[in-house]
Structure 1
Amino acid sequence: MTIEQRFLQKAVEDKNYVSFSYEGKSYKKVKPLKIEENILHSDSRKFELGKLSRVQVLRDRF
C-alpha cells in the first residue's frame, strides 16, 4: 500500500473530501466511500488507484 493509498484510506474512515487528477482531468471535492482491490468508490464513479495523481485530502467533511 502506497502512502497515497494510506491517505485515501484515512480520508474514507474520517469522511474527508479529496481532490486529485485522474487521466488528465481534475476532480475536486470528491466523497470517497470505500477502497476495494485498487478501486476507489466515490459518490460519482469508480477510480483506479494506479491512475490517480496529485491526491489531496481536504479538511472539509461530509
Structure 2
Amino acid sequence: MTDKPRYVPTPCVMVCTLDANDVCLGCYRTADEIGEWVDADAARRDAILEAADTRMLQAGREA
C-alpha cells in the first residue's frame, strides 16, 4: 500500500504584494518560496512556513 503524501495548504491570503526585500506582505513568503511552492514536498513546505512565520514575528505580526 502506498501512503498518500501529506497535504500542506498554501498560506496565501490573496494580498500578494512584495516589499523591497521580495517578501509578500500577506503570507511572508519570499518570491522564490512562492515560486517553488507548487513543486515542493511536504517537508519543504513545512520549512517555508516556518521561515515565513519567523519573518511575520520579526515584522511584529502574530503568526
TM-score by length of 1: 0.26
TM-score by length of 2: 0.26
Structure number, greater radius of gyration: 2
Greater share of helix residues, 1 or 2? 2
Greater share of strand residues, 1 or 2? 1
Tell which has more relative contact order, 1 or 2 (C-alpha 8 A, sep 6+). Answer: 1
